[in-house]
Structure 1
Amino acid sequence: MWLSIFRRTPKAFDRIAGKDQLICRSKLKKALNTSNQLLVNRIFELIDLDKSGYIDRYEFDTFANTISYNDKRHRLRFIIAICDLNGDGYVNKDELGQILDACIRDQSLNLTGEQKKAIKDCVFSLAGLSDDDKGLNLKEFKKFIELVPGFDFQFDQFVNELLGRKNIRQRSSSKSPVFFKLNFFRNYLKDVLWFSFYAAINVFLFFNAMSHYELQGATLPVQLARGGGACLNFNCALILLPMCKVLLGRLRHSALSFVLPLDNLTEIHKGIAFNIIGFSFIHIAAHFTNYTLNQQNIALVLCASAIGITGVGITSSLLLISVTGYLRSKNYERFLSVHKLYVLFFILTLLHGPVFWLWLLPTGLLFLVDIGIRIWRKRRTLKVSKLESLPDGVTLVRFCEHPFKNFYPGDYLKIRIPSVAKDEWHPFTISAAPESFVLDLHIRYNGDWTGALHNLSNRMRYSHESVYAQLDGPYSAPTSSVYRSDVVVLIAGGIGVTPFASTLQSLLLNEKNNTSVNQQVYFHWLNRSQNSYSWFIDLLNQASKQLGSDRFHLHIHLTSLTRSFSNIVMQMAFDAFWSAFRFDPITGLPAQTSAGRPNWDLVFSELAAKYPNKKVDVYFCGPKRLGKSVRKTALKYGLYFREEKFE
Structure 2
Amino acid sequence: MASQTNGNVTGKTESYEAWKIRSIKFAKEWTHVVLWLATNLIFWLVVYFRYENEPEYHYIRLLAGKSLPFAKACAACLNLNSMLILFPVCRNLISFFRSSVETKACCKRSVRRLLDKNLVFHKTLAYVIILFTLGHINAHYFNFENLFNSRVHPETDIQKTLSFLPYEQPDTWVNPVQNPSETTYGLGVIQQVMQRVAGWTGIFITMALLLMYTSSTEFIRRYYFETFWFTHHLFIIYYGFLIAHGAEGIVRYQTNVEEHNPKKCADYPDSWSTMDDCKNAPMFAGGELKSWKWVIAPLIIYFLERVIRFCRSVQTVTITEVIQHPSNAFEIRMKKSGFEMLPGQYIFIKCPQLSNFEWHPFTLTSSPNEDFFSVHIRTVGDWTNGLAEACGVGGDDVITPSKLPRVAVDGPFGTASIDIFKYKVGVCVAAGIGVTPFASILKTIWHRLLNNSEDMKLSKVYFFWICPETNAFAWFSELLEVFERDMVEKGYADFLNYNIYLTRGLSFKETKNIYLSENENTDPITGLRQKTHYGRPKWPTIFSEIANENQGIDVGVFFCGPSGLSEILYKNCKLHSEISRDGCRFFYNKENF
Matched position secondary structure for 1:410: coil
* Residues in 2 aligned to 1:181 and 1:617: alpha-carbon distance in whole angstroms: 22
Determine if the alignment matches structure 1 residue 577 to structure 2 residue 520: yes
Of residues 22, 38, 60 in structure 2, which corresponds to 1:200?
38
* Residues in 1 aligned to 2:360 and 2:90: alpha-carbon distance in whole angstroms: 18
Q: Is the 8 A contact 1:389 1:457 kept in 2?
A: yes
Of residues 435, 447, 457 in structure 2, which corresponds to 1:509?
447
Q: Is the 8 A contact 1:412 1:429 kept in 2?
A: yes
TM-score by length of 2: 0.71
Q: Is the 8 A contact 2:317 2:408 kept in 1?
A: yes
1:379 CA drift (Å): 1.8
Q: Is the 8 A contact 1:251 1:257 kept in 2?
A: no
Determine if the alignment matches structure 1 residue 497 to structure 2 residue 335: no
Partner of 1:457: 393
Partner of 1:530: 470
* Residues in 1 aligned to 2:502 and 2:24: alpha-carbon distance in whole angstroms: 32
1:409 CA drift (Å): 1.2
Spell out the pairing of 1:428-577 with structure 2 (5 A cutoff).
428-455=362-389, 456-459=392-395, 461-464=397-400, 465-515=403-453, 516-547=456-487, 548-560=492-504, 574-577=517-520
1:184 CA drift (Å): 8.5
Of residues 522, 528, 534 in structure 2, which corresponds to 1:595?
534
The residue identity in structure 1 corresponding to 2:245 is H
* Residues in 2 aligned to 1:182 and 1:433: alpha-carbon distance in whole angstroms: 40
Spell out the pairing of 1:55-66 with structure 2 (5 A cutoff).
none
Distance 1:620-1:337 versus aligned 2 partners, 3 A rule: same
| Range 527-536 or range 603-612, more displaced | 527-536
Partner of 2:231: 338
Matched position secondary structure for 1:415: strand
Determine if the alignment matches structure 1 residue 389 to structure 2 residue 320: no
1:323 CA drift (Å): 2.5
Distance 1:463-1:212 versus aligned 2 partners, 3 A rule: closer
Distance 1:221-1:599 versus aligned 2 partners, 3 A rule: same
Partner of 1:53: none
Matched position secondary structure for 1:536: helix
Spell out the pairing of 1:141-152 with structure 2 (5 A cutoff).
none
| Range 332-341 or range 623-632, more displaced | 623-632
Partner of 2:587: 640
Determine if the alignment matches structure 1 residue 317 to structure 2 residue 317: no
The residue identity in structure 2 corresponding to 1:550 is D
Partner of 1:629: 568
Distance 1:495-1:287 versus aligned 2 partners, 3 A rule: closer
Partner of 1:240: 86
Determine if the alignment matches structure 1 residue 226 to structure 2 residue 41: no
The residue identity in structure 1 corresponding to 2:554 is K
The residue identity in structure 1 corresponding to 2:79 is N
Q: Is the 8 A contact 2:144 2:193 kept in 1?
A: no
Matched position secondary structure for 1:251: helix
Of residues 328, 338, 346 in structure 1, which corresponds to 2:220?
328
Spell out the pairing of 1:287-306 with structure 2 (5 A cutoff).
287-294=140-147, 295=149, 296=177, 298-306=189-197
Partner of 1:372: 307
Deviation string 1:487-515 (CA, Å, 9 cap, x unpaired) is: 11111222211100100111122223322
1:385 CA drift (Å): 0.6
* Residues in 1 aligned to 2:239 and 2:96: alpha-carbon distance in whole angstroms: 26
Matched position secondary structure for 1:462: coil
Gaps of 5+ in 1: 1-179
* Residues in 1 aligned to 2:109 and 2:363: alpha-carbon distance in whole angstroms: 21
| Range 527-536 or range 589-598, more displaced | 527-536
* Residues in 1 aligned to 2:123 and 2:474: alpha-carbon distance in whole angstroms: 38
Partner of 1:274: 127
Distance 1:438-1:460 versus aligned 2 partners, 3 A rule: farther
1:402 CA drift (Å): 4.5
Deviation string 1:599-629 (CA, Å, 9 cap, x unpaired) is: 1111111112222311111111234443343
Distance 1:586-1:319 versus aligned 2 partners, 3 A rule: closer
1:303 CA drift (Å): 2.5
Deviation string 1:277-311 (CA, Å, 9 cap, x unpaired) is: 11122222222222222324533432222222322
Spell out the pairing of 1:255-266 with structure 2 (5 A cutoff).
255=104, 258-259=110-111, 261-266=114-119
The residue identity in structure 1 corresponding to 2:558 is Y
Distance 1:597-1:181 versus aligned 2 partners, 3 A rule: farther
Deviation string 1:510-529 (CA, Å, 9 cap, x unpaired) is: 22332222421111122233
Of residues 19, 33, 54 in structure 2, which corresponds to 1:215?
54
Distance 1:486-1:584 versus aligned 2 partners, 3 A rule: same
1:319 CA drift (Å): 2.3
**Percent identity for Structure 1 against Structure 2:** 28
Partner of 2:344: 410
Distance 1:645-1:338 versus aligned 2 partners, 3 A rule: same
Distance 1:554-1:331 versus aligned 2 partners, 3 A rule: closer
* Residues in 2 aligned to 1:184 and 1:525: alpha-carbon distance in whole angstroms: 31
Deviation string 1:505-558 (CA, Å, 9 cap, x unpaired) is: 111222233222242111112223334323133432333244423211122222
* Residues in 2 aligned to 1:189 and 1:501: alpha-carbon distance in whole angstroms: 34
Matched position secondary structure for 2:556: strand
1:381 CA drift (Å): 3.3
The residue identity in structure 2 corresponding to 1:306 is V
Deviation string 1:330-351 (CA, Å, 9 cap, x unpaired) is: 6332222122111111111112
Gaps of 5+ in 2: 1-17, 150-176, 181-188, 247-288, 578-585
* Residues in 1 aligned to 2:552 and 2:81: alpha-carbon distance in whole angstroms: 41
* Residues in 1 aligned to 2:20 and 2:587: alpha-carbon distance in whole angstroms: 11
TM-score by length of 1: 0.66
The residue identity in structure 2 corresponding to 1:283 is H
Q: Is the 8 A contact 1:225 1:283 kept in 2?
A: yes
Q: Is the 8 A contact 2:348 2:361 kept in 1?
A: yes
Deviation string 1:207-257 (CA, Å, 9 cap, x unpaired) is: 101122222234522211111111111111111111111111232342466
1:189 CA drift (Å): 5.5
Q: Is the 8 A contact 1:389 1:454 kept in 2?
A: no
* Residues in 2 aligned to 1:589 and 1:279: alpha-carbon distance in whole angstroms: 55
Deviation string 1:355-392 (CA, Å, 9 cap, x unpaired) is: 12222233233222222211211222312110121122
Aligned residues: 461
The residue identity in structure 2 corresponding to 1:553 is N
* Residues in 1 aligned to 2:506 and 2:19: alpha-carbon distance in whole angstroms: 37
1:419 CA drift (Å): 4.1
Deviation string 1:559-607 (CA, Å, 9 cap, x unpaired) is: 335699x96x9767545212xxxx3333221312222222111111111
Q: Is the 8 A contact 1:184 1:637 kept in 2?
A: no
* Residues in 1 aligned to 2:573 and 2:332: alpha-carbon distance in whole angstroms: 34
* Residues in 2 aligned to 1:392 and 1:277: alpha-carbon distance in whole angstroms: 40
Deviation string 1:134-176 (CA, Å, 9 cap, x unpaired) is: xxxxxxxxxxxxxxxxxxxxxxxxxxxxxxxxxxxxxxxxxxx
Matched position secondary structure for 1:384: strand
Of residues 608, 625, 634 in structure 1, which corresponds to 2:547?
608
The residue identity in structure 1 corresponding to 2:590 is E
Q: Is the 8 A contact 2:44 2:77 kept in 1?
A: yes
The residue identity in structure 1 corresponding to 2:412 is P
Q: Is the 8 A contact 2:29 2:110 kept in 1?
A: no
The residue identity in structure 2 corresponding to 1:328 is I
